[in-house]
Structure 1
Amino acid sequence: MTVPDLMRCGVLLLVALACDSAVAEESRSDVTPLVISAALDEDVFTPLLDAFQAAYPLIEVDFREGSTLEVDNSVSADSPAPDVVISSAMPLQMARVNDGWARRIDSPQARMWPDWAKWRNEVFGFTFEPIVMAYRLDLARHMLPPQKHADLHRLLTSHADLLRGRVTTYTPQASAIGYALAQQDARYSTRFWELVAAMGQLDASLENDTRSMLEGIEEGRYWLGYNLIGSYAMAYAQHHPDVIVQVPMDYSLVMMRMAFVHRDAEHPEAAETFVNFLLSQDGQHVLAGQTPLFSPLTDMAGPWTAKRLRDQVGEHLYPIPLDATLLAFVDPARREVFMRQWQETFVLPEQTSEATP
C-alpha cells in the first residue's frame, strides 16, 4: 500500500471515529437521569428497578439509599432536590406532602390507585408490608416460640434469665419508623406499655434498622426480635435458615412505603414515569412475584400479595392508615409526651432513680 493510500485510510478512520463519537454523544444526550432518595434496601428493590430500566432504557436511575431520617432530610436539604422520594416513615412522608413538597400526579395509574393507599394524588402507598417478630431457631429448644403479642410478653417475664440481653427492637428515639411503629402499637394494644416495660427489664437492645436486628439474631447475639419490617426479615430468612419469621397471629401492623414526586424535581417527567410504573400492573406484578414487599392490590396474583397474606393470617392485619391522621404523630408536643413515657417505662427502675437528682 502506497503512502497516499495509507493517508486516505487514516483520514477515513478519523472520520469513522468522529462519527462514532458523535453518535455516542447524541445517545448520551437522549438519556434522562432520575434521582431517587429512598429508605428502602436496594437489594430487595432491585427486581423492580431492573424491570423499570428494561421498560424505559433512556431513563438512567440514580438510586440513593438512606435511613428514614436521612431521606426525610433530603427533601428540604439536598440541592438539587431528588426527583422521587420513597420512605417507610409514613408520618414524615405525610408531613412533607402536607407542607407542599410533592407534585400532584394526574395519570390513569394515579386515578385508579385505591383511595385508601393514596392522598390527594400526591403520595402513594405502593407496598403492603407486615410488621413481624423474628427469632433464632434454637430458641425453640428452650421455650415455645411466640405467635402472639401475649406470648411474647409471657416469654419475657417467664424466661427472663435466658432472654436477658438477647431481645432487640427498634429505637423510637433515633428511628422514624421505630417511633411510628411504637405509636401504632400503643394505639392498637392496651398492653403495649407492659411489653415495653418487660423489654426494658431484660436490657433489650435498641437498633436503628431491621438489618441490624436480623444480623444480631443470625450471629446469636439476640434470640428474639420484635417489630421488624417483614419484607426485610422474610428476604433475609430465605438465606439464613437459623432465622425464623413470625407474623403475629393476634394482630399485625402493616406499613406502606410511600412515594411522591418532589415539587422541585429536575426531571419531573421521568419521576412521574417511575411512580406510574410503581402503580402499574406491570410494576405491581414484579413487586408481587419477585420481592417480599407485597402488593396491596387485591386482584394481584403472586406469592407476595396482600390477599395471600390475609389468607395466611386472617383478618388481623392492621394497615397504618394513609391519611391526615398520620400528621398527629409528627406533632412535637405529642412526640415529647410519648417519648417521656417510653423512656420512663423502658428504663430499669434503679436507672431511673439514679438519674433523678
Structure 2
Amino acid sequence: MLRHWRAYLVLLCLIPLDTLAQVRTPLVIEAALDRQVIAPLLDAFERARPDIALEYHDRSTLEVDRRARNVRPAPDVVISSAMPWQLARVNEGLAQPLDSDEARDWPAWAKWRNEVFGFTFEPIVMAYRLDLSRRMMPPATHADLNALLTSKLDILRGKVTTYSPSRSGVGYTLFQQDARYSPRFWDLVAAMGAAEVSLEATTQAMLDGLTSGKYWVGYNLLGSYAMRWAQTHPELIVQVPQDYALVMMRMAFVHRDAPHPAAAKTFVSFLLGVEGQRILAGRTPLFSVLPEVIGPYTAQRLRDQVGERLYPIPIDASLLAFVDPLRRAAFMARWNREISILDPQEATAQRPSKAIPR
C-alpha cells in the first residue's frame, strides 16, 4: 500500500500546477458583506474543502441584486443584507432548494421554503463618541435619542447621522420596521431633521464620520460592523437600544442557474452547520443563529442581554410588501415631509419605481 502511495505522489508531482488548479471546482459568491468581517469563515471553508476554488466578491446590495438577476453566468451563491429584495428574488424563482441536513434542521423562523436562509443575527445599534458622553447623558433608548435631539439641539445640530432610505435597502427596511414597532418613530424622524441629520448610504460611512469627529451620534447602524470598528476605535461607544432592538439577518441562497450547484450547496450548508456557526459566534461579530452554539456573539447571548425587546426582522411574506413601489413611494413621501431634509437622490424615491436602492 505504501508503494502505491509513493507512486501516486510521484505522478502528482509530474502534473503541471495549472493542470492541478483546473481540478478544483470553482465557486463564485456575490455578497453584500465585508470580506474582512467574514474572512474567518471563508478561511475555514477553504481549509475544509481545498478541492473548491472560492471566488468571493464583496459589493453593494444594489450590485449584488443586479448580478443575481441579470449577469450570466450567474453567481453560485447570493448573500445580501437587503432582506426584502433577497426574498423577492427567491419568490420569483431565482433560487433552488437546499436538501441537506443543515438546511432541514435550520430554525423555521430563519428560512423560507428551504431556499433562502438567514444565517446571521445582527443587532441594529446606536453609536456615539465619548465627546457626547462628556457633555450629556448618552442615549440608551429610542426615546432617549428623541429627547436628546430636542433638548440639546444647539449642540447636536449637524452632528447626527443615519441611513438614507433611498440609497440603502437595509436602511429603508430598518426604518419601515421602526415605524412598525415605535408609535413615536415619526417624532424621532422630525427631531433628526431639525438637527440637520446627515444621511449616509452605508454603516461604514457613518463610522468614518463618527471617528473623524464630524458626527457625534449615529442611529440604526449595523451592529456587526459597528462592534468590530469600535474594537480599534476606543473613542466610539456602541449601544444596543434598551427599549427595543431590531435584528437583521444576512440571507443566502443557491442561485437557480448556479454553474457549480454542488459546490454552492456545500458552502451554504457550511454556513448553516455547527462549525460555520461556531466561527460566526467566536471569531466574527455577525452573531450565530443556532441555539447550541456557544461564543461571545450568539443569538441566545443577545436575547439574554436584551430580553423580549429583541425584534428580529421576520423572513416571511411580509417582507415582500417592502419592495412594492406604491408602498415605498408613500413611505418616502412621509419621510421627506417629516425630516424636512431632501437628500438629492431621494427626490426620485417619491415616485413609484422598481429601482432597488443600495
TM-score under structure 1 length normalisation = 0.91
1:344 equivalent in structure 2: 337
2:205 equivalent in structure 1: 212
2:353 equivalent in structure 1: none
Q: Is the aligned partner of 1:136 residue 2:159?
A: no
2:13 and 2:276 mapped to 1: Cα distance? 35
Q: Is the aligned partner of 1:329 residue 2:302?
A: no
2:69 and 2:132 mapped to 1: Cα distance? 45
Can you list the C-alpha shifts for 1:161-207, whole angstroms capped at 9, x where unaligned? 11111000000011100110011110110010010111111110000
1:77 to partner: Cα distance: 1.9
Can you list the C-alpha shifts for 1:125-154, whole angstroms capped at 9, x where unaligned? 000000000000121111100000000000
Among candidates 250, 262, 274, match of residue 255 of structure 2 = 262
1:12 equivalent in structure 2: none
CA RMSD of aligned residues (A): 1.6
2:34 equivalent in structure 1: 41
Among candidates 106, 112, 116, match of residue 105 of structure 2 = 112
Can you list the C-alpha shifts for 1:265-287, whole angstroms capped at 9, x where unaligned? 11111100000000000100111
1:25 to partner: Cα distance: 3.8
Change (3 A) 1:229 1:348: closer
Q: Which moved more, 1:67-76 or 1:146-155?
A: 67-76
The within-5 A match list for 1:55-94 is 55-94=48-87
1:92 to partner: Cα distance: 0.4
1:296 and 1:285 mapped to 2: Cα distance? 10
1:69 to partner: Cα distance: 1.3
Amino acid aligned to 2:261: P
1:68 and 1:344 mapped to 2: Cα distance? 27
Q: Is the aligned partner of 1:161 residue 2:174?
A: no
Change (3 A) 1:348 1:124: closer
Among candidates 264, 271, 276, match of residue 269 of structure 2 = 276
Q: Is the aligned partner of 1:122 residue 2:109?
A: no
2:3 equivalent in structure 1: none
1:25 and 1:176 mapped to 2: Cα distance? 41
1:298 equivalent in structure 2: 291
Q: How many residues align?
A: 334
1:137 and 1:260 mapped to 2: Cα distance? 40
The answer to whether the Cα contact below 8 Å between 2:274 and 2:290 also exists between their aligned partners in 1 is: no
1:50 equivalent in structure 2: 43
1:175 and 1:193 mapped to 2: Cα distance? 19
SS at match of 2:308: coil
2:189 equivalent in structure 1: 196
The answer to whether the Cα contact below 8 Å between 2:28 and 2:54 also exists between their aligned partners in 1 is: yes
1:64 and 1:44 mapped to 2: Cα distance? 13
Q: Is the aligned partner of 1:236 residue 2:207?
A: no
TM-score under structure 2 length normalisation = 0.91
1:24 and 1:93 mapped to 2: Cα distance? 39
Amino acid aligned to 2:112: W
2:7 equivalent in structure 1: none
1:105 and 1:310 mapped to 2: Cα distance? 28
SS at match of 1:315: helix
1:29 to partner: Cα distance: 2.1
Amino acid aligned to 1:166: K
Can you list the C-alpha shifts for 1:257-316, whole angstroms capped at 9, x where unaligned? 000000011111110000000000010011101000001122210000011111222221
Among candidates 267, 279, 292, match of residue 286 of structure 1 = 279
SS at match of 2:322: helix
Can you list the C-alpha shifts for 1:204-229, whole angstroms capped at 9, x where unaligned? 00000001101100100000000000
Identity among equivalent positions (%) equals 63
Change (3 A) 1:156 1:23: same
SS at match of 1:185: helix
2:37 and 2:98 mapped to 1: Cα distance? 26
Amino acid aligned to 1:219: S
SS at match of 1:249: coil
1:332 and 1:295 mapped to 2: Cα distance? 33
1:214 and 1:119 mapped to 2: Cα distance? 32
* Moved segments of 4+, more than 4 Å: 18-21
The answer to whether the Cα contact below 8 Å between 2:41 and 2:279 also exists between their aligned partners in 1 is: yes
The gaps in structure 2 that reach 5 residues or longer are 1-10, 343-358
The answer to whether the Cα contact below 8 Å between 2:249 and 2:313 also exists between their aligned partners in 1 is: yes
SS at match of 1:174: coil
The gaps in structure 1 that reach 5 residues or longer are 1-17, 350-357
2:293 and 2:270 mapped to 1: Cα distance? 15
